Amino acid sequence: MACSDSNQLSYILPHVETIYMFVEETMKIEDAEARTKGTHDINLLRMIVGLIGDLATNFATNTTVKSKSTQGFIEQSIIILQQQDEES
């Protein structure tokens, strides 16, 4: 059950900044590993983009969410996933 379905969004809001920091650090690690391996972890990228999408949808008016959801590494993840889908 999603937080929005159970009216629990207020519990997540204080942690939004920390969630984005965690995602950014995770993406730095994933990017470094992708350079070594020559490929991205597509499942991880899908989960991250899904999480960011959920946050952006549920907190659409929040300025932090708006600015953090359009960071370069998120946009790059979306592009990688689109390219992956085209190749499949």
Cα 25 vs. chain centroid, distance in angstroms? 11
pLDDT tens-digit map of 1-44: 566 677 788 889 999 999 999 999 999 999 999 999 999 999 99
Q: Specify if 27 maps to a domain.
A: no
Instruction: Report the alpha-carbon distance of residue 30 to residue 35 in Å, rounded.
Output: 9
The residue with greater pLDDT, 9 or 49, is 49
Domain range for 46 is 39-88
Instruction: Report the alpha-carbon distance of residue 26 to residue 21 in Å, rounded.
Output: 9
Q: Specify if 20 maps to a domain.
A: no
Mean pLDDT to the nearest integer, 42-68? 94
Q: Specify if 10 maps to a domain.
A: no
**pTM (predicted TM-score):** 0.86
Residue 9: per-residue pLDDT: 85
Residue 1: per-residue pLDDT: 53
Instruction: Report the alpha-carbon distance of residue 41 to residue 33 in Å, rounded.
Output: 9
Q: Specify if 8 maps to a domain.
A: no
